[in-house]
Amino acid sequence: VGMVEAWRIFPAELVSRLKAKRREPWNIQQRKRTQQAEGAIETWDKANPKPTKEKMLERDDLAARLTQLKTLQAKYRDPGPIYDCLVFHDGKRWNASIDTDEDGDFANEKLMTNFRVNRDYGTFGGEAQMNFATNIYRDGDLLSVVVDCGAHGTHVAGIVAAHFPKQPELNGLAPGAQIVSVKIGDTRLGSSSTGTGQMRGLITVLQNKCDLINMSYGGPASRPNVGRIYTEYANIVNRHGVIFCASAGNNGPALSSVGSPGGSTSALLGIGASVTPQMMLDQYGMRATRKDMQYTWSSRGPTLDGDLGVDLTAPGGAIAPVPNWLLRRNTQMNGTSMSSPNAAGNIALLLSALKAEKANRTPHRVRRALENTAKPIAGLSPHEQGRGMIQIHKAYDWLKNNPAITKSDFKFDVRIRSRGNARGIYLREPFEVDRVHSVSVTLIPVFHRDTKPSEKINFEKRLRLQCDADWVEHASQILLANDSERITVKVDPTGLEPGVHFTEVVGTDADAPQRGALVRVPVTVIIPEKVENANWNATLTFKGGSTTRRFLAVPAGATWADLHVRTIKAGTDQRITMHSVQLLAGLSFRAGGERRYVTLREGAVRVESFAITGGRTLELCLAQYWSSLGEAEAEFTLQFHGLRPSSEVVSLDGNDLTDSVVITAPLRDERVAPSGSFKTWRRSVRPTKAEIRPLDPVRDRLDDEEQIHEMIITYNFDQAAPARVTPVLTVDYNDGSDYFFES
């Protein structure tokens, strides 16, 4: 027997709506009682123009009633619905019942068990209209009541497999697909995912023998393709044969803005978001349409270690179902969260066909088919769209027309040991592009775990190596067996013009070139412009969806920059995305970047200031928003500034209550007004106790019987006075995906 509080499990949007609705009758009664109390005082005053001291006690009582009513209104707190829960074993299995109408009577409530058994769900009715499922763990000691933490998941699932037999125009891409819903978002964290949730999701995938994963989640990472979660993502693809699609991120338009895991994990298909003319018309009602393009916010590659980042692109907007608690049937959403399920739905159709034909359908084969048949969108670079727009019919035909490909299941991993096992060559800093580089690239064949020893023994590939750039040199061919081999790639950036340059060293099977690329070594070189006198200036023209990238060598000693924007011409107001990014060692792209929106209004002048780091390359990306119609022209002036203190720490103690700091301005004269205040007291606290214990054997045990454990760490500290305390884990955690434990 237990209980569950609605406000603890319902999403914030629903809680806000229910609180407002539940407060309406209270407010009505409060206003009524307040008016009565005010009227009683007024009546008393009229009846007692000259009250005695004893008589005034009556008025004081009336005034106290009014004060109490106002106090109650100010301190109003709604604890929300509280539902009684009952769990019992009927001799065969665990069952649960929840008192959804709060009447204390379970006779009219639905009896439920683990969702996967009967796929039963219940509803918290009335104004809530929140559907829920149950799972029972730990021999009945733990009841999990599963509800949405937002509308996002239902919308994503609808894109993949919505099924309306009587209205097929509302169907998802693969209406026959069977969905296993896995909640990795934590309502207590505003729907952010946790490593624990992701690991449990992967375990659930294996328990249910899923063929395909879509993950419309992500965040920045400082160490791409590294960490505990990454390892398990790779295992589920390479060892268990599950194809994995994930959103590339919504942090564009600057380069190297791809997120984790979709844009940073080799085993996953990272999907960017594009918008087509038909979508512009049907979903957005635009008065004019344009050619296919990427959404402005869609994340771009390369990754911090030089991988392409975006593998494919797909339509990134949809009108799809949403949960009933939103009190509407469907809605329009956009994001790479929408493009990834679009790709997943397409791949589900492909897998369905291959299953029907009993054809091999491993992740390596399917990926090769998708990448070799994707349609590049004209005018977009591989950093923006990967191999291009997914073409599922052509992928199917490609597999049918290349039967030899389905007889082998391998891939090649690319590793550059001298650059921390990077997956590509990425040169962008001033101290990197001023000389010729000779890079040793290791090619490693990777097989499915069920590959027979005889196939590994007989494995041999003669690769023909090609590159279309004259500033890259390499061997013309290499023979590969079941062992790693190295090739040397010479990159000469010294003669390149300022801007971004991309090419690939592509390896194809010399005996079967129709298989397409078996190996790709991406090479990205960014040449920054030199900045004279700590100033940069340019006049730029824009039209809808256009993107201008300028790469600048930030002067040494610079700590911030002012961007002055003067609009020269704009028929109507135009929305411009201003995205500045520097890549700083050991940090994600977000640590060295700012993304803001500027409106170009004819004759207007605006100044935007942002922090920078001297001596490194700055990308200043200026893009007219994809849906902003019309053209504009503006002058941009970037002024670099710098203030450098002799010490970033001021130390005061009982012996000397003063400290001196020398500030220098290496770039130009600056006006400084130093000030200081004590706002935060930081204190390091060592743990007093740590206990490691195993977690749930159902939810937290991997397929190879690897048990996941938890560590309970105890800290003790005292407060001399009441204060707000914020515990901080002193590691660079990001979203946890690139760390060596789950959470």
Q: How many CA atoms lie within 13 A of 478 on its CB side?
A: 23
Structure confidence by residue, pLDDT tens digits, 510-526 = 988 888 899 999 999 99
Distance between CA atoms of residues 305 and 414, nearest Å = 11
Q: How many CA atoms lie within 13 A of 47 on its CB side?
A: 10
Instruction: Tell whether the model's pLDDT for residue 191 goes beyond 90.
Output: no
8 A C-beta contact, residue 294 and residue 380: yes
Structure confidence by residue, pLDDT tens digits, 559-595 = 999 999 999 998 888 999 999 999 999 899 999 999 9
Structure confidence by residue, pLDDT tens digits, 535-557 = 999 999 998 889 999 999 999 99
58-66 long-range Cβ contacts below 8 angstroms, 24+ apart: 62/37, 65/37, 65/40, 66/34, 66/37, 66/38, 66/41
Instruction: Tell whether the model's pLDDT for residue 346 goes beyond 60.
Output: yes
Q: Which of 106-115, 376-385, 676-685 has the lowest mean pLDDT?
A: 676-685
In this prediction, residue 392 carries a pLDDT of 98
The DSSP symbol for 26 reads H
Distance between CA atoms of residues 737 and 1, nearest Å = 36
Mean pLDDT, range 595-605, rounded to an integer: 92
Helix axes 336-356, 392-401, angle to 10 degrees: 30
- Which helix or strand (DSSP H or E) is residue 438 part of? strand 437-447
CA nearest to 389, candidates 294, 305, 479: 294
In this prediction, residue 410 carries a pLDDT of 84
> What SS3 state is found at 397?
helix
Distance between CA atoms of residues 440 and 424, nearest Å = 11
Question: In the CATH hierarchy, which fold is given to the domain comprising 152-407?
Answer: Rossmann fold (3.40.50)
Structure confidence by residue, pLDDT tens digits, 36-79 = 999 999 999 999 999 998 999 999 999 999 999 999 999 999 99
Instruction: Tell whether the model's pLDDT for residue 16 goes beyond 90.
Output: yes
Mean pLDDT, range 129-138, rounded to an integer: 95
Bridge partners of residue 214, in order along the sequence: 245
Structure confidence by residue, pLDDT tens digits, 74-95 = 999 999 999 999 999 999 999 9
In this prediction, residue 404 carries a pLDDT of 65
**Using 50, 70 and 90 to split pLDDT, how confident is the model at 450?**
confident
In this prediction, residue 674 carries a pLDDT of 87
Mean pLDDT, range 418-441, rounded to an integer: 96
In this prediction, residue 583 carries a pLDDT of 96
Instruction: Tell whether the model's pLDDT for residue 396 goes beyond 60.
Output: yes
CA nearest to 733, candidates 381, 372, 219, 277: 219
In this prediction, residue 512 carries a pLDDT of 85
Q: What are the start-end ranges of the H helices in 134-256?
A: 152-161, 195-207, 228-238
**Using 50, 70 and 90 to split pLDDT, how confident is the model at 732?**
low
Architecture of domain 417-423+432-514: Sandwich (2.60)
In this prediction, residue 408 carries a pLDDT of 64
Cα angle for residues 403, 408, 410 (degrees, 5° grid): 135
Instruction: Tell whether the model's pLDDT for residue 740 goes beyond 90.
Output: no
CATH number belonging to domain 530-642: 2.60.120.510
In this prediction, residue 79 carries a pLDDT of 95
Instruction: Tell whether the model's pLDDT for residue 736 goes beyond 60.
Output: no
> What SS3 state is found at 118?
helix
**Alpha-carbon separation of residue 75 from 64, 68, 72, 78, 311 (angstroms):** 16, 10, 5, 10, 54
The tokens for 413 are 């991993």
Residue type, 300: R
CA nearest to 30, candidates 77, 78, 81, 66: 66
**Using 50, 70 and 90 to split pLDDT, how confident is the model at 428?**
very high
Model confidence, pTM? 0.92
Mean pLDDT, range 176-204, rounded to an integer: 91
By CB neighbour count within 10 A (0-12 exposed, 13-18 middle, 19+ buried), where does 449 fall?
A: exposed
Distance between CA atoms of residues 200 and 700, nearest Å = 6
Pairing of strands 485-491, 437-447: antiparallel
Instruction: Tell whether the model's pLDDT for residue 195 goes beyond 90.
Output: no
Residues 6+ apart with CB under 8 A from 285: none
In this prediction, residue 175 carries a pLDDT of 96
8 A C-beta contact, residue 558 and residue 614: yes
In this prediction, residue 451 carries a pLDDT of 84
Instruction: Tell whether the model's pLDDT for residue 652 goes beyond 90.
Output: no
8 A C-beta contact, residue 642 and residue 558: yes
Return mean pLDDT, the chain.
93
By CB neighbour count within 10 A (0-12 exposed, 13-18 middle, 19+ buried), where does 203 fall?
A: buried
